[in-house]
Amino acid sequence: MNLRMTLATTTRVLGQLRHDHRSVALILVVPALLLAAVYFLFENESLPPGFPRTFDRVGLMMLAIFPFVVMFLVTSVTMLRERTSGTLERLLTTPIHKADLLFGYALAFSIMAALQSLVATAVAYWVFDLDIKGSPGFVVMVAVINAVLGVALGLLCSAFARTEFQAVQFMPVVVVPQILLCGLFVAREDMNQVLESISGALPLTFSVDALKEIAGNAEATAMMWQDTLVMGGIVLGVLVLASLTLRRQTR
């Protein structure tokens, strides 16, 4: 690996995004708007005193799920373009290492994800008074790890799509099951055994668990760090799988 090439790739990917004002605006603003929608959806719920608002639970999880979905889409389309435009083949004739390329991408989109979740978390806290015990810093951390998971899966899935249309179709396959089973709609302990064990194998579940730890405890818990570590391991594993799909030579 070569830091100069990794950073050059990060700069290049961010440069491409910078010229695309509309995408930048969508990435930064849409999650905050959707969060507002969730807030007003539950605005009139009547709760017994002392009972936490639904927004505090659902809104918090949305903060971590948005970056995952958005970065999956952005990355799979960008990487597919790289594969089809010939720039990937050209890059692989240069001394760049595959890891430089993948980590360059991951770093660029993590920066975008950090900005996105800073905006969304700030809105959740200051506009809608999100009420959790733990530190918002940890929420942003989990959001960024989720974003990198989205980047890694996007890089991997782009290898199995020939067109941008196909790349987008991977969302219902890869992203939606994770959202359904992560514990957002139904708590994991209330699922039937089959779904629960599938849920336990999906990466997003770990970050939702970590968020629950953050919401319920003022200090970082060992459980939260464990979930975070598992997520980190999964992300690395997927990035390694993605690097196997980059071939310098065709048969």
Partner 1 sequence: MPPLPAAIEATGLRVSRSRTEILRGLDFTVDSGRITGLLGPSGSGKTTLMRAIVGVQRLTQGHLTILGRPAGSATLRHDVGYVTQGASVYADLTVEANVRYFGAMHGAAAADAAEAIAAVGLEPFARQKAADLSGGQFSRVSLACALVAHPKLLVLDEPTVGLDPVLRAELWERFAAMAAAGTTLLVSSHVMEEASHCSSLLLLRDGQLLAQLSPGELAERGRSSDLERAFLTIIRAADDGQEERQVAS
Contacts with partner 1, residue ranges (CB under 8 A): 4-5, 8-9, 11-12, 15-16, 19-20, 85-87, 89-96, 248-251
What is the nearest approach in angstroms of partner 1 to the Cβ of residue 166?
A: 21
Cβ nearer to partner 1, comparing 90 with 133: 90
HSE (CB half, 13 Å, CA atoms) of 117?
31
Q: Which pair of structure tokens corresponds to residue 225?
A: 């760090």
What is the nearest approach in angstroms of partner 1 to the Cβ of residue 134?
A: 39
What is the nearest approach in angstroms of partner 1 to the Cβ of residue 100?
A: 9
What is the nearest approach in angstroms of partner 1 to the Cβ of residue 159?
A: 16
Cβ nearer to partner 1, comparing 10 with 121: 10
Dihedral through CA 124, CA 128, CA 131, CA 137, nearest 10? 20
Q: Are 144 and 67 in contact (CB under 8 A)?
A: yes
At 93, give phi and psi (nearest 5°): -90, -10
What is the nearest approach in angstroms of partner 1 to the Cβ of residue 11?
A: 8
Cβ nearer to partner 1, comparing 19 with 187: 19
Torsion sign, CA atoms 141, 143, 145, 147: negative
CA–CA distance from 59 to each of 27, 44, 146, 160, 183 (Å)?
17, 15, 16, 33, 13
Cβ nearer to partner 1, comparing 6 with 199: 6
Cβ nearer to partner 1, comparing 163 with 197: 163
CA angle 131-138-103, nearest 5°? 140
- The amino acid occupying position 229 is L
What is the nearest approach in angstroms of partner 1 to the Cβ of residue 236?
A: 24
Cβ nearer to partner 1, comparing 5 with 65: 5
Tell which residue, 76, 98, 67, has the closest CA to residue 207: 67
